[in-house]
Protein backbone atom coordinates (compact mmCIF):
# COMPACT_ATOMS: atom_id res chain seq x y z
CA UNK A 1 0.00 0.00 0.00
CA UNK A 2 1.22 3.47 -0.90
CA UNK A 3 -1.27 5.88 0.54
CA UNK A 4 -1.43 9.66 0.72
CA UNK A 5 -3.67 11.15 3.40
CA UNK A 6 -5.10 14.54 2.57
CA UNK A 7 -7.05 16.84 4.87
CA UNK A 8 -6.81 20.10 6.77
CA UNK A 9 -4.71 20.55 9.89
CA UNK A 10 -6.57 18.69 12.64
CA UNK A 11 -8.56 16.53 10.22
CA UNK A 12 -7.30 13.36 11.91
CA UNK A 13 -4.73 12.23 9.34
CA UNK A 14 -2.12 11.29 11.93
CA UNK A 15 -4.61 9.53 14.20
CA UNK A 16 -6.13 7.50 11.38
CA UNK A 17 -2.68 6.69 9.97
CA UNK A 18 -1.82 5.16 13.35
CA UNK A 19 -4.90 2.93 13.16
CA UNK A 20 -4.20 1.91 9.57
CA UNK A 21 -0.54 1.13 10.09
CA UNK A 22 -1.40 -1.47 12.77
CA UNK A 23 -4.15 -2.99 10.70
CA UNK A 24 -2.26 -3.22 7.40
CA UNK A 25 1.29 -3.59 8.73
CA UNK A 26 2.60 -0.54 6.91
CA UNK A 27 4.69 2.38 8.14
CA UNK A 28 3.50 5.93 8.67
CA UNK A 29 5.63 8.81 7.54
CA UNK A 30 4.47 12.06 9.08
CA UNK A 31 6.52 14.92 7.73
CA UNK A 32 5.32 17.09 10.65
CA UNK A 33 6.64 14.55 13.20
CA UNK A 34 9.83 14.18 11.21
CA UNK A 35 10.41 17.94 11.25
CA UNK A 36 9.56 18.23 14.96
CA UNK A 37 12.10 15.44 15.58
CA UNK A 38 14.73 17.48 13.75
CA UNK A 39 13.80 20.57 15.79
CA UNK A 40 14.29 18.71 19.05
CA UNK A 41 17.70 17.50 17.82
CA UNK A 42 18.55 21.10 16.87
CA UNK A 43 19.78 19.90 13.50
CA UNK A 44 20.38 22.19 10.54
CA UNK A 45 17.11 21.01 8.99
CA UNK A 46 15.27 21.51 12.29
CA UNK A 47 16.53 25.05 12.75
CA UNK A 48 15.50 25.93 9.20
CA UNK A 49 12.07 24.27 9.47
CA UNK A 50 11.19 25.82 12.83
CA UNK A 51 11.09 29.38 11.51
CA UNK A 52 8.40 28.37 8.99
CA UNK A 53 6.47 26.01 11.23
CA UNK A 54 6.11 28.47 14.13
CA UNK A 55 4.33 30.89 11.78
CA UNK A 56 2.14 28.18 10.30
CA UNK A 57 3.93 28.54 6.95
CA UNK A 58 5.09 25.63 4.83
CA UNK A 59 8.68 24.50 4.81
CA UNK A 60 9.98 25.21 1.25
CA UNK A 61 9.29 22.56 -1.39
CA UNK A 62 12.98 22.12 -2.21
CA UNK A 63 13.67 21.05 1.37
CA UNK A 64 10.67 18.72 1.61
CA UNK A 65 11.21 17.04 -1.76
CA UNK A 66 14.84 16.38 -0.84
CA UNK A 67 13.82 14.58 2.34
CA UNK A 68 11.08 12.47 0.77
CA UNK A 69 13.37 11.10 -1.89
CA UNK A 70 15.60 9.40 0.63
CA UNK A 71 12.84 7.96 2.74
CA UNK A 72 10.54 6.40 0.18
CA UNK A 73 13.50 4.79 -1.64
CA UNK A 74 14.23 3.12 1.67
CA UNK A 75 10.63 1.84 1.96
CA UNK A 76 10.79 0.36 -1.54
CA UNK A 77 14.13 -1.30 -0.78
CA UNK A 78 12.52 -2.97 2.23
CA UNK A 79 9.32 -3.73 0.28
CA UNK A 80 7.44 -1.87 2.98
CA UNK A 81 4.02 -0.31 2.36
CA UNK A 82 3.59 3.23 3.67
CA UNK A 83 1.17 6.00 4.52
CA UNK A 84 2.19 9.59 3.92
CA UNK A 85 0.71 11.95 6.51
CA UNK A 86 1.31 15.60 5.64
CA UNK A 87 3.03 15.02 2.32
CA UNK A 88 2.41 16.20 -0.35
CA UNK A 89 1.12 19.58 0.70
CA UNK A 90 1.65 21.47 -2.55
CA UNK A 91 1.29 20.72 -6.26
CA UNK A 92 5.10 20.65 -6.83
CA UNK A 93 5.43 18.15 -3.97
CA UNK A 94 2.66 15.98 -5.47
CA UNK A 95 4.28 16.11 -8.89
CA UNK A 96 7.64 15.16 -7.37
CA UNK A 97 6.02 12.25 -5.54
CA UNK A 98 4.33 10.83 -8.64
CA UNK A 99 7.48 11.30 -10.69
CA UNK A 100 9.48 9.43 -8.10
CA UNK A 101 6.98 6.57 -7.94
CA UNK A 102 7.13 6.31 -11.69
CA UNK A 103 10.91 6.09 -11.55
CA UNK A 104 10.59 3.37 -8.96
CA UNK A 105 8.14 1.59 -11.28
CA UNK A 106 5.35 1.55 -8.69
CA UNK A 107 1.95 3.21 -8.30
CA UNK A 108 0.22 5.26 -5.67
CA UNK A 109 -2.66 3.22 -4.24
CA UNK A 110 -4.85 6.20 -3.43
CA UNK A 111 -5.01 9.75 -2.10
CA UNK A 112 -7.59 9.71 0.67
CA UNK A 113 -9.20 12.98 1.69
CA UNK A 114 -10.52 13.14 5.25
CA UNK A 115 -13.14 15.82 4.96
CA UNK A 116 -13.86 17.95 8.07
CA UNK A 117 -15.70 21.30 8.26
CA UNK A 118 -13.51 24.29 9.08
CA UNK A 119 -15.21 25.22 12.39
CA UNK A 120 -14.55 21.70 13.62
CA UNK A 121 -10.87 21.96 12.61
CA UNK A 122 -10.49 25.15 14.65
CA UNK A 123 -12.22 23.56 17.65
CA UNK A 124 -10.00 20.49 17.52
CA UNK A 125 -6.69 22.33 16.99
CA UNK A 126 -7.20 24.88 19.72
CA UNK A 127 -7.95 22.22 22.34
CA UNK A 128 -5.43 19.65 21.23
CA UNK A 129 -2.49 18.31 23.22
CA UNK A 130 0.25 16.14 21.74
CA UNK A 131 2.29 13.38 23.35
CA UNK A 132 6.05 14.05 23.42
CA UNK A 133 6.77 10.35 23.19
CA UNK A 134 4.38 8.85 20.63
CA UNK A 135 2.82 11.99 19.00
CA UNK A 136 -0.71 10.85 19.89
CA UNK A 137 -3.09 13.80 20.11
CA UNK A 138 -5.94 14.20 22.54
CA UNK A 139 -8.39 16.98 23.39
CA UNK A 140 -8.33 18.94 26.64
CA UNK A 141 -11.09 17.65 28.89
CA UNK A 142 -13.74 19.71 30.70
CA UNK A 143 -11.84 19.48 34.00
CA UNK A 144 -8.56 20.93 32.75
CA UNK A 145 -5.57 19.63 30.86
CA UNK A 146 -4.87 15.94 30.59
CA UNK A 147 -1.72 14.99 32.54
CA UNK A 148 -0.48 12.04 30.57
CA UNK A 149 -0.94 10.47 27.16
CA UNK A 150 -3.90 8.07 27.28
CA UNK A 151 -2.03 5.76 24.92
CA UNK A 152 1.51 5.46 26.25
CA UNK A 153 1.56 7.54 29.46
CA UNK A 154 4.03 10.05 27.95
CA UNK A 155 4.03 13.78 28.75
CA UNK A 156 1.55 15.92 26.85
CA UNK A 157 2.30 19.40 25.53
CA UNK A 158 0.59 22.01 23.38
CA UNK A 159 2.36 22.39 20.03
CA UNK A 160 3.70 25.92 19.37
CA UNK A 161 1.68 26.06 16.17
CA UNK A 162 -1.58 25.05 17.89
CA UNK A 163 -2.14 28.68 19.01
CA UNK A 164 -5.11 30.62 17.71
CA UNK A 165 -3.28 33.05 15.34
CA UNK A 166 -1.12 30.28 13.92
CA UNK A 167 -4.11 28.01 13.46
CA UNK A 168 -5.85 30.63 11.32
CA UNK A 169 -2.72 30.97 9.17
CA UNK A 170 -2.35 27.18 8.80
CA UNK A 171 -5.92 27.01 7.55
CA UNK A 172 -5.23 29.80 5.05
CA UNK A 173 -2.11 27.98 3.85
CA UNK A 174 -4.14 24.78 3.58
CA UNK A 175 -6.75 26.50 1.40
CA UNK A 176 -4.20 28.12 -0.84
CA UNK A 177 -1.54 25.41 -1.24
CA UNK A 178 -3.00 22.05 -0.31
CA UNK A 179 -6.65 22.15 -1.38
CA UNK A 180 -5.65 22.28 -5.07
CA UNK A 181 -4.33 18.74 -4.54
CA UNK A 182 -7.91 17.50 -4.31
CA UNK A 183 -8.47 18.28 -7.99
CA UNK A 184 -4.95 17.21 -8.87
CA UNK A 185 -5.57 13.67 -7.57
CA UNK A 186 -9.18 13.65 -8.82
CA UNK A 187 -7.94 14.31 -12.38
CA UNK A 188 -5.62 11.35 -12.04
CA UNK A 189 -8.46 9.16 -10.70
CA UNK A 190 -6.57 8.60 -7.48
CA UNK A 191 -8.83 10.51 -5.11
CA UNK A 192 -11.20 8.97 -2.56
CA UNK A 193 -13.02 10.86 0.11
CA UNK A 194 -14.50 10.05 3.49
CA UNK A 195 -16.46 12.12 5.99
CA UNK A 196 -14.06 12.95 8.83
CA UNK A 197 -16.68 14.30 11.22
CA UNK A 198 -17.60 12.06 14.13
CA UNK A 199 -15.94 9.71 16.59
CA UNK A 200 -12.46 8.43 15.89
CA UNK A 201 -13.65 4.79 15.68
CA UNK A 202 -16.48 5.69 13.30
CA UNK A 203 -14.07 7.44 10.96
CA UNK A 204 -11.65 4.49 11.07
CA UNK A 205 -14.53 2.20 10.19
CA UNK A 206 -15.44 4.37 7.19
CA UNK A 207 -11.86 4.06 5.93
CA UNK A 208 -11.76 0.31 6.50
CA UNK A 209 -15.08 -0.10 4.68
CA UNK A 210 -13.75 1.93 1.75
CA UNK A 211 -10.56 -0.15 1.61
CA UNK A 212 -12.60 -3.34 1.64
CA UNK A 213 -14.78 -2.06 -1.18
CA UNK A 214 -11.66 -1.20 -3.18
CA UNK A 215 -10.02 -4.55 -2.45
CA UNK A 216 -7.07 -3.00 -0.61
CA UNK A 217 -5.28 -5.45 1.67
P1 LIG B 1 -0.99 19.69 10.73
O2 LIG B 1 -1.34 18.77 9.59
O3 LIG B 1 -1.79 19.45 11.94
O4 LIG B 1 -0.90 21.13 10.36
P5 LIG B 1 1.76 18.69 10.68
O6 LIG B 1 2.39 18.08 11.86
O7 LIG B 1 1.46 17.80 9.53
O8 LIG B 1 0.47 19.37 11.24
O9 LIG B 1 2.66 19.88 10.12
C10 LIG B 1 3.12 20.93 10.94
C11 LIG B 1 3.94 21.92 10.14
O12 LIG B 1 5.08 21.25 9.56
C13 LIG B 1 3.24 22.55 8.95
O14 LIG B 1 2.46 23.66 9.32
C15 LIG B 1 4.46 22.94 8.07
O16 LIG B 1 5.08 24.10 8.53
C17 LIG B 1 5.42 21.79 8.28
N18 LIG B 1 5.26 20.72 7.26
C19 LIG B 1 4.87 19.43 7.47
N20 LIG B 1 4.81 18.74 6.32
C21 LIG B 1 5.14 19.62 5.33
C22 LIG B 1 5.26 19.55 3.92
N23 LIG B 1 4.98 18.42 3.25
N24 LIG B 1 5.59 20.67 3.23
C25 LIG B 1 5.88 21.80 3.87
N26 LIG B 1 5.78 21.96 5.18
C27 LIG B 1 5.43 20.89 5.93
Q: Atom 23 in ligand 1: which residue has the minimum CA distance?
A: 87
Q: What Cα–Cα distance (Å) separates residue 30 from each residue in 75, 154, 189? A: 14, 19, 24
Task: Provide, rounded to the nearest whole percent, the portion of the chain with pLDDT above 70.
Answer: 97
Has this prediction a pTM greater than 0.85? yes
89 is catalytic: yes
Distance 32 CA to ligand 1 centre (A): 5
Distance 176 CA to ligand 1 centre (A): 14
128 is catalytic: yes
In tens, the pLDDT along 15-67 reads 999 999 999 999 999 999 999 999 999 999 999 999 999 999 999 999 999 88
Distance 213 CA to ligand 1 centre (A): 30
124 is catalytic: no
What single string gives the DSSP state of each residue in the chain?
-EEEEE--TTSSHHHHHHHHHHHHT-EEEEHHHHHHHHHHHT-HHHHHHHHHHTTTPPPPHHHHHHHHHHHHHHHHHTT--EEEES---SHHHHHHHHHHHHHHT----EEEEEE--HHHHHHHHHTEEEETTT--EEEPBTTB--SB-TTT-PBEE--TT-SHHHHHHHHHHIIIIITHHHHHHHHTT-EEEEE--S-HHHHHHHHHHHHHHHT--
What pLDDT, on the 0 to 100 scale, is given for residue 7?
97
Flag the least confident range among 72-76, 115-119, 141-145. 141-145
CA dist 97 and 92 (Å) reads 9
**Nearest to 60, CA basis, from 45, 72, 77:** 45
CA dist 168 and 163 (Å) reads 9
CA dist 217 and 21 (Å) reads 12
What pLDDT, on the 0 to 100 scale, is given for residue 4?
98
What pLDDT, on the 0 to 100 scale, is given for residue 89?
96
What pLDDT, on the 0 to 100 scale, is given for residue 79?
86
Which residue is catalytic, options 48, 151, 159, 206?
159
Provide residues with CB under 6 Å of ligand 1: 9-10, 31-32, 35, 52-53, 56-59, 64, 86-87, 89, 93, 161, 170
Amino acid sequence: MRLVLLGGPGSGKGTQADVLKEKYNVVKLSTGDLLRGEISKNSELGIKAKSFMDKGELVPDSVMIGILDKITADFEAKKQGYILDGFPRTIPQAEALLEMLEKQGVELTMALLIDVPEEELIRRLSGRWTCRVCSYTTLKDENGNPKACPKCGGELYQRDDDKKETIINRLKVYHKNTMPLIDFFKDKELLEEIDGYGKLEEISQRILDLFEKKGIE
